[in-house]
Chain A
Amino acid sequence: MSDSQIIHAPHTLKKAKMGSGPGKLDTKAIACAESAVKEMAKDYTQWAQEDVSSLDAALGEARARPDDHAQAIRTLFRVALDMKGQGTSFGYRLITEVGDSLASFVEERKSLSPFDQEVVASHISAMRAVFSEAVRDDGGDTGRALVEGLHRLVEKAVAQS
């Protein structure tokens, strides 16, 4: 006798569809939703820069408490992950890439060496530059060079640890 049981749960979302077969995506509704996101984008840079300040504060905390970086690392990871998850939605793909790089870098770290702290500081500076120069999308060649430079720093820090 099989140890698994198959349960056909009630399909409560039947009510969300008219007709049979795959539904047609409502392009007007999607366009409307994209407009709503564009509207929110007007405020994005303000709260994103507050996020950058939170990163800066967490780095300051790590520098001030050399024996205990756990809380600072948690904050750096959470904020960087949030920034990664939002940048592209609002037209700032470079923020997504820098946020991704920073989140990946700090995720597995138990503490931040002085060089690690410089790597974090470089990510924060990069984010500040993106907003101060209003660099949209991936930032073209300059953006790519920036991200590659950060990746090289991360590799160097990982090699040192």
Chain B
Amino acid sequence: MTLGITSRYMLDNINVLVLDDNKHMRSLVQSILHALGVKNIRDASDAAEAFKELQHFHADVIICDWHMEPLDGLDFVRLVRTAKDSPNPYVPIIMLTGYTEYRRVVEARDAGVNEFLAKPISAKALYQRFAAIIDTPRPFIRTKTYFGPDRRRQNLGPPRGTAERRKSELEKAGDSGVVAPPGTDAADGLSQQEVEALLGK
């Protein structure tokens, strides 16, 4: 008789820090995390508070909003990755944001985020980001201008919404001529697959 062994995630023994300046968003993320089994959650409403929290809370994962003041999410990511007094420059960071444009994803990747999750979020999408971080840890790269997870690039072609992209899509569509019309989600934002590819997965 063969015993089937299925691997599974156990989120009950990890520490998660949630950084968002919107209290309702923090509550939403924490509710989802609790329901997914995460027991140790701390939250912060600004980047300075979050960085201070990291000095005594050993976060295994950070979930971080982008649009905040006075320091934004990218400032915070750079602080965690490169500040001399950063307690854990390697901690996986999930950037949670309403921004989904190509340039934004590239900017987040270049600041050193591991995962990019577009708001509005769902429980499944957040769970999948945790699974990705757990299943596929990436080496870190240090260059003169970058420190963070490996950003292996995949050739995605020209950014969506550009004339070059339309031309490329028309060429690929061939006889069918089926391409995303301008103004649709597909033409204006990135698909999750493209976001993942940009992040080097």
Q: Which residues of A contact B (CB under 8 A)?
A: 3-13, 15-26, 29-30, 32-37, 39-40, 44, 47, 78, 81-82, 84-89, 96, 100, 103, 151
Question: A16–B121 contact, CB under 8 A?
Answer: no
Residues of B within 8 A of A6 (CB): 139-141, 150
Residues of A within 8 A of B84 (CB): none
CB within 8 Å for A19 and B25 given contacts A7-B139, A81-B67, A89-B121: no
A-B contact list, 29 entries, CB within 8 Å: A4-B143, A7-B140, A8-B139, A8-B140, A9-B90, A12-B60, A13-B134, A13-B137, A15-B13, A16-B11, A16-B13, A18-B7, A23-B135, A24-B7, A26-B9, A29-B36, A29-B127, A30-B124, A33-B35, A33-B126, A34-B122, A37-B28, A37-B31, A37-B122, A37-B123, A47-B24, A81-B98, A82-B25, A89-B122
Q: Does B168 interact with chain A (Cβ within 8 Å)? A: no
CB within 8 Å for A25 and B34 given contacts A6-B139, A37-B123: no
Residues of B within 8 A of A23 (CB): 6-9, 131, 134-135
Residues of A within 8 A of B6 (CB): 19, 23-24
Q: Of all chain B residues, which has the CB nearest A29?
A: B36
Question: B27–A40 contact, CB under 8 A?
Answer: yes
Residues of A within 8 A of B122 (CB): 34, 37, 89
Question: A25–B98 contact, CB under 8 A?
Answer: no
Q: Of all chain A residues, which has the CB nearest B150?
A: A6
Main secondary structure of the interface of A (DSSP, over half): helix
Question: B120–A89 contact, CB under 8 A?
Answer: yes
Question: A33–B31 contact, CB under 8 A?
Answer: yes
Q: Of all chain A residues, which has the CB nearest B120?
A: A88
Known pairs A13-B137, A17-B135 / 8 extra A-B pairs, C-beta < 8 Å: A13-B60, A16-B13, A23-B135, A32-B35, A36-B31, A37-B122, A85-B98, A89-B119
Q: Does B1 interact with chain A (Cβ within 8 Å)? A: no
Residues of A within 8 A of B144 (CB): 3
Shortest 9 CB-CB contacts between residues of A and residues of B: A19-B7, A85-B119, A33-B123, A33-B35, A88-B120, A9-B90, A7-B140, A89-B120, A85-B98
Q: Of all chain B residues, which has the CB nearest A41?
A: B28
Q: For window 4-55 of chain B, which residues contact chain A by CB distance below 8 Å?
A: 5-11, 13-14, 22, 24-25, 27-28, 31-32, 34-37
Q: Report Cα–Cα, A148/B4, bound state, in Å.
A: 53
Question: B127–A17 contact, CB under 8 A?
Answer: no
CB distance from B109 to the nearest CB of A (A): 16
Question: B28–A86 contact, CB under 8 A?
Answer: yes
Residues of B within 8 A of A4 (CB): 141-143
